[in-house]
């Protein structure tokens, strides 16, 4: 049976087929073409099956977000399917899953590759969304260092003294710094390459969100996460669906004047830290 006879559909590209990204896509995918990219063939098959059996038009592509050529091929594939109107990037690793170098290569450099690659193929009026983290607010990078980062090509970020001397100290620091740099990468793109395409790009910074991958963090540092949640104004964890609501807004027409910025969605964790209600242990 042919579910949709429409041709020349707008394209949504999702890099990292996890629960937050797929929840966002479901908000905006009706009548559009979905391209899923992930390093796991098993994950791609499962998520693609779920979308197809919900009536969505979906294709998949195995992508290694650590490799520039793989990310660029993903962007080119998206463009071959039609006008790329939406790009969402959720690819990343959490602090207790791997070492500092891997986190920085994936969450910082890999994200930069994606922002750069899709900055070359986005359609006019398109929008991008990078999933960052509340941790991007937990390590204030000096202004001079941020300026150096903004003026460094993605391929050279790992060579910066700040990355080698500070971010590489442990996985927690690497993650916080990578997520702050995501904010800077998007700010730069919004003002340069994405602007040239007449497209917008933003980040969202989720707090403690319950996802399958989050259970790795809860198992490794559950007490710390519990204290963080208890100190927050919401006094609970968030859900992928809540992130999706905000993500769909930032990608949609009602956010047409919003670009190059971050939306913190953390239930009040950062507010608790900034006001001294919770003491962060790095």
> Do the bridges between strand 262-265 and strand 200-206 make them parallel or antiparallel, or are there none, so unpaired?
parallel
Residue from 68, 77, 179, 188 carrying the catalytic annotation: 179
Does residue 123 sit in helix, strand or coil?
Answer: strand
User: Of 86, 175, 188, 278, which residue is the catalytic one?
Assistant: 175
C-alpha 119/C-alpha 225 separation (Å) is 36
Among residues 209, 263, 255, which one has the least CA distance to residue 232?
209
Quick check: helix, strand or coil at residue 147? helix
**Structure letter (DSSP) for residue 142:** P
Q: How far is CA 227 from CA 1, 206, 212, 216, 250, in A?
A: 52, 17, 20, 17, 30
Identify whether 179 is a catalytic site residue.
Answer: yes
Residue 255 · residue 198 · CB < 8 Å: no
C-alpha 248/C-alpha 86 separation (Å) is: 10
Provide long-range contacts, Cβ within 8 A and 24+ apart, for 220-223.
220/96, 221/96
Q: What is Dmax (Cα atoms) for the chain?
A: 59
The catalytic residues are: 175, 179
């Amino acid at each position: 049976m042919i579910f949709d006879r429409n041709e020349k559909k707008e394209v949504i590209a999702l890099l990292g087929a996890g629960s937050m990204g797929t929840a966002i896509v479901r908000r905006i995918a009706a009548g559009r073409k979905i391209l899923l990219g992930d390093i796991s063939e098993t994950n791609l098959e499962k998520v693609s099956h779920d979308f197809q059996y919900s009536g969505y038009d979906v294709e998949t592509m195995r992508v290694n977000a650590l490799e520039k050529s793989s990310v660029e091929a993903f962007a080119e594939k998206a463009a071959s399917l039609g006008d790329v109107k939406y790009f969402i990037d959720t690819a990343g690793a959490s602090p207790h899953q791997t070492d500092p170098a891997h986190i920085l290569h994936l969450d910082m450099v890999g994200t930069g590759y994606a922002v750069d690659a899709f900055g070359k193929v986005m359609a006019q009026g398109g929008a991008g969304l990078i999933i960052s983290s509340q941790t991007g607010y937990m390590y204030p990078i000096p202004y001079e260092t941020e300026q150096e980062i903004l003026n460094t090509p993605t391929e050279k970020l790992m060579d910066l003294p700040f990355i080698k001397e500070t971010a590489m100290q442990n996985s927690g620091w690497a993650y916080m710094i990578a997520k702050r740099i995501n904010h800077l990468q998007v700010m730069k793109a919004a003002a340069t390459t994405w602007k040239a395409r007449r497209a917008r790009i933003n980040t969202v910074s989720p707090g403690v969100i319950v996802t399958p991958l989050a259970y790795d963090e809860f198992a490794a540092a559950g007490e710390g996460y519990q204290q963080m949640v208890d100190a927050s104004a919401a006094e609970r964890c968030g859900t992928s669906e809540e992130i999706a609501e905000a993500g769909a807004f930032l990608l949609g027409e009602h956010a047409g004047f919003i670009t190059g910025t971050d939306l913190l969605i953390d239930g009040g964790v950062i507010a608790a830290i900034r006001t001294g209600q919770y003491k962060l242990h790095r």
